[in-house]
Amino acid sequence: MANKMSALLLAIGFGMLTLASCKTSSPAQALKKALKTADSLAVYHVDGYPTIASEQKTGVYYLQGYAVGQEQTLSASDLVALKVALSDTATFDANTVKSCPMIAQLAIDIRKKGKSAGTLVLSPSPCGKALLFEGAKPKAPAAMDLVIGNGVEPLLFAAGK
Amino acid sequence: MKGWLHNGCLLAGLLIFVFSAGLRAQDVTEIKYKGTDGTMYTGLLVYSNEEDIFMRINFTQGGKFRVVHTDYAAVTGEEDGVNYFFLEGENAHYVTGDDGTAYNPDHFIWVWEDSGQYDLPYTSDDPEYNMEQATQVISYKQLEKGKVTDSYLRSFFGSAEPEYLAMRKFFGLEKVTTPVKPTTTTTTIAANKDVTMHLIVVANTAISDIGSSCSIDKRNLTSELEGISEVTGMKFKKYIVEEQEFTKSKVQNLLNAFTPGPNDVVMFVYRGHGFRWSNQKEEYPQLDLRYSSFTRISENTSINLEEVYNTVKSKGARLNLFFADCCNSDVGISQVTAASFMNMQSNNNYDTQKLRKLFLLSRGNLISTAASPGEVSWANNANGGFYTVSLLQSLRDEISYLRNDDADWNGLVENTIKGARYKSSKSVCSNCTQQNGIYYSEITYGK
């Protein structure tokens, strides 16, 4: 049964490629597009919840409303691996999602020519979720789940990171 | 393969109810399709849930009228922005017209994009799932009560088959001899008109990640319970807490002011985020009553399901039912005491005797939630929460003419948990972890 289903899903997967030209853009694809032209990524520890503009404090840096703490430094190889993992649309699922509350831990500032081209806010498992803010201006984010076993969390949330 | 899937670019309309209803219960549909040899097939698809689907297919071949029975399993998924719904046929066998040849089960597949473009499914009977030769079916339509004749059913079933008798009832061809009416034999149950069904739905329809699935569940729950109330003659009263009213204070105010009668039925359904405090002892989850991500999680923004259960139970209604479709996983925060405490469309094809037992002859309390401590609960933005969808499927199944056994709440909630477990299993949802709901019941039945 398992083999049969694998064969079927393989067949379906093959067919999906033919549909790629006509489907609408998903948040994961928008992220992939933003990463493709990005020249750097900066990872920051952030507060668990965003702060509304009127309550934001001077002297505190906010990314899409999230108060930013320390920058998380990554090695050059980890940054490359992170970009690859984030560009993999299988890392995210915007349709099938967990019914748990997101409490943010990290934000990734996607930078292009010295400006923010987008921000990805992340929470770790067991409630792995992501919010994608396209562009630098505040706007409603697209919500996605981090798929279990994704390649992003080991790079960002592993012990000692 | 390429060709038939590529047609998905051009798709429109008819299938929308199929998949939005694809995870729902008790749909009977007709599929017409043509075989590679030109044979015309007419299938009667009976869908109870993902694990309980069958089709009777009639066709004439070699001048002989034949009927085949095939069981189906449903698989749904999404790949790179394209969704699919696959009905895998198995155990195909002749009911009539068997001439010793094997019948390869027909498989059916629907594909559509996130933008919601649908079309008729494609079918193939290739045992190796080679869909290169798949053809699009000719028609697919839901069969409605009042439009199906006995002779039509007889073209699929023998007159002594239990499925045939159930179908006759389902389509209103069998006179129901014992309609639901005010009972005079049981003193504990008042006349139906004196019974009110209170449906309380607390749904986080405004939150970005699960808001759309919560909206679907709210709509389906309301429609289903309203239909049941109509059939049983109960008055129906709904209380919806959603959008910007989705707060702890609104829920508490509602529950404090809530005064059901002693013969009433109360059904409380929560659809939203759920969690456990890191130091929580209660088995049931905290309901996260925040509609905005700007609000911090605290004791002031959440309430435990058991607290809701105890509050409503103390109001003294005859039957109290509590369902929470939410996660039950550690939020990573310990509880801190706060300084201050502040279109599934109902088709109404119900077996009224079973409805009567569930809603009018029952007394007691039931509490259930979608996931065990430490587990997450899953939702699909196209269909709703796995647990809530399973709850509605199980309810439909429990009160269906197609079920031969007696209806009871324990069986219903066990099937709900089983259904959500199946939907979150790797074979159905590759991105999910399995959720195992829990329940406690103390319901007795009168006569």
pTM of the model: 0.80
By the CB < 8 Å criterion, does B84 face chain A? yes
* Range of lowest pLDDT (A21-35, A107-121, B252-266, B310-324): A21-35
Residues of B in contact with A145 (CB under 8 A): 209, 431
pLDDT at position B304: 97
What percent of chain B is predicted at pLDDT more than 70? 83
Q: Which of A15, A49, A100 sits opposite B273 (nearest CB)?
A: A100
Q: What is the pLDDT of residues B141-151, one digit of tens each?
A: 888 888 899 99
By the CB < 8 Å criterion, does B331 face chain A? yes
A63 Cα to chain B: minimum distance (Å): 14
Question: What is the interface pTM, i.e. ipTM, of the complex?
Answer: 0.83
- Tell me: pLDDT of B273 over 50: yes
Q: Which of B84, B209, B427 sits opposite A97 (nearest CB)?
A: B209
pLDDT at position B175: 66
Residues B304-312, mean pLDDT to the nearest whole number:
97
Find the closest chain A residue to B270 by CA distance. Answer: A99
b/e burial code for range B376-414 (CB count within 10 A of at least 16 → b): bbbbbbbbbbbbbbbbbbbbbbbbbbbbeeebbbeebbb
pLDDT at position B395: 92
- Tell me: pLDDT of A119 over 90: yes
**What span, in angstroms and rounded, lies between the C-alpha atoms of B385 and B389?**
6
Q: Where does B210-361 show beta strands of DSSP type E? A: 235-241, 265-271, 274-275, 286-288, 302-304, 319-325
Q: B58 vs B11, B41, B66, B126, B272, CA distance in Å?
A: 28, 6, 6, 19, 45
Q: Are the Cβ atoms of A96 and B432 closer than 8 angstroms? A: yes
Q: What is the pLDDT of residues A31-82, one digit of tens each?
A: 999 999 999 999 999 999 999 999 999 999 999 999 999 999 999 999 999 9
pLDDT at position B100: 86
- Tell me: pLDDT of B408 over 90: yes
Q: Are the Cβ atoms of A22 and B296 closer than 8 angstroms? A: no
Find the closest chain A residue to B294 by CA distance. Answer: A50
Q: What is the pLDDT of residues B177-225, one digit of tens each?
A: 544 544 444 333 445 678 999 999 999 999 989 999 999 999 999 999 9
Confidence of residue A26 (pLDDT cuts 50, 70, 90): confident
Residues of A in contact with B8 (CB under 8 A): 19, 22
By the CB < 8 Å criterion, does B51 face chain A? no
Confidence of residue A2 (pLDDT cuts 50, 70, 90): very low
The answer to whether B390 and B416 have CB atoms below 8 angstroms apart is: yes
In 3D space, the residue among B230, B210, B228, B317 whose CA is nearest the CA of residue B270 turns out to be B210
pLDDT at position B338: 35
Find the closest chain B residue to A104 by CA distance. Answer: B293
By the CB < 8 Å criterion, does A11 face chain B? yes
Region for B382 from its dihedrals, namely left if φ exceeds 0, alpha if ψ lies in -120 to 50, beta otherwise = alpha
- Tell me: pLDDT of B114 over 70: no
**What span, in angstroms and rounded, lies between the C-alpha atoms of B318 and B359?**
10
The answer to whether B317 and B262 have CB atoms below 8 angstroms apart is: yes
What percent of chain B is predicted at pLDDT more than 90? 57
* Range of lowest pLDDT (A20-29, B221-230, B282-291): A20-29
- Tell me: pLDDT of A157 over 50: yes
Residues of B in contact with A157 (CB under 8 A): none
* Range of lowest pLDDT (A13-27, A111-125, B160-174, B222-236): A13-27
Residues of B in contact with A13 (CB under 8 A): 79
Q: What is the DSSP letter of B356?
A: I
- Tell me: pLDDT of B263 over 90: yes
B-facing residues of A in 30-69 (CB < 8 A) are 48-52, 65
Strand pairing class (B122-124; B107-113): antiparallel
Residues B157-180, mean pLDDT to the nearest whole number:
80
A-facing residues of B in 349-388 (CB < 8 A) are 370, 374, 376-382, 385
Bigger pLDDT: B203 vs B172: B203
By the CB < 8 Å criterion, does B12 face chain A? no
pLDDT at position B81: 63
Residues of B in contact with A16 (CB under 8 A): 5, 79-80, 82, 111
Q: Are the Cβ atoms of A16 and B79 closer than 8 angstroms? A: yes
Q: Are the Cβ atoms of A148 and B431 closer than 8 angstroms? A: yes
Average pLDDT, chain B: 84
- Tell me: pLDDT of B8 over 90: no
pLDDT at position A145: 95
Contacts for B131 with CB less than 8 Å, ≥ 6 apart:
A11, A15, B1, B4, B109, B122, B124
Confidence of residue B170 (pLDDT cuts 50, 70, 90): confident
pLDDT at position B239: 98
Confidence of residue B176 (pLDDT cuts 50, 70, 90): low
- Tell me: pLDDT of A24 over 50: no
Contacts for A37 with CB less than 8 Å, ≥ 6 apart:
A112, A117
B199 Cα to chain A: minimum distance (Å): 22
Q: What is the DSSP letter of B13?
A: S
By the CB < 8 Å criterion, does B130 face chain A? yes
A-facing residues of B in 215-254 (CB < 8 A) are none
**Which site among A33, A99, A100 would you substitute to test the B interface, given the most B Cβ atoms closer than 10 Å to its Cβ?**
A99
**What span, in angstroms and rounded, lies between the C-alpha atoms of A74 and A152?**
13
Q: Are the Cβ atoms of B1 and A14 closer than 8 angstroms? A: yes
Count of other CB atoms within 10 angstroms of residue B335: 17
Q: Are the Cβ atoms of A97 and B84 closer than 8 angstroms? A: no
The answer to whether A117 and A135 have CB atoms below 8 angstroms apart is: yes
Q: Are the Cβ atoms of B80 and A89 closer than 8 angstroms? A: yes
In 3D space, the residue among B19, B122, B430, B436 whose CA is nearest the CA of residue A2 turns out to be B430
**What span, in angstroms and rounded, lies between the C-alpha atoms of B67 and A78?**
61
* Range of lowest pLDDT (B22-31, B264-273, B320-329, B434-443): B22-31
Residues of B in contact with A95 (CB under 8 A): 78, 83, 114, 380-382
Q: Which of A5, A50, A99 sits opposite B210 (nearest CB)?
A: A99
B207 Cα to chain A: minimum distance (Å): 10
In 3D space, the residue among B32, B30, B58 whose CA is nearest the CA of residue B44 turns out to be B30
Count of other CB atoms within 10 angstroms of residue B60: 12
3-state SS, one letter per residue, for chain A:
CHHHHHHHHHHHHHHHHHHCCCCCCCHHHHHHHHHHHCCEEEEEEECCCCCCHHHCCCCCCEECCEEEEEEECCCHHHHHHHHHHHHCHHHEECCEEECCCCCCCEEEEEEECCEEEEEEEEECCCCCEEEEEECCCCCCCEEEEECCCCCCHHHHCCCCC
Q: Are the Cβ atoms of A101 and B297 closer than 8 angstroms? A: yes
pLDDT at position B27: 78
**What span, in angstroms and rounded, lies between the C-alpha atoms of B132 and A7?**
13
CA atoms within a 13 Å half-sphere pointing along the CA-CB vector of B119? 18
pLDDT at position A3: 40
Find the closest chain A residue to B378 by CA distance. Answer: A98
Q: What is the pLDDT of residues B12-63, one digit of tens each?
A: 222 333 333 333 446 789 999 998 888 999 999 998 877 788 999 999 998 9
B-facing residues of A in 78-107 (CB < 8 A) are 89, 93-103
pLDDT at position B142: 86
Q: Residue B49 pairs with which residues in a beta bridge?
A: B52
pLDDT at position B383: 81
Show the tokens assigned to B91: 């155990």
Confidence of residue B134 (pLDDT cuts 50, 70, 90): confident
Confidence of residue B351 (pLDDT cuts 50, 70, 90): confident
Find the closest chain B residue to A27 by CA distance. Answer: B81
Residues of A in contact with B130 (CB under 8 A): 11
In 3D space, the residue among B205, B245, B208 whose CA is nearest the CA of residue B221 turns out to be B205
B-facing residues of A in 141-160 (CB < 8 A) are 141-145, 147-148
**Could you report how far apart the first and last alpha carbons of chain A are, in Å?**
41
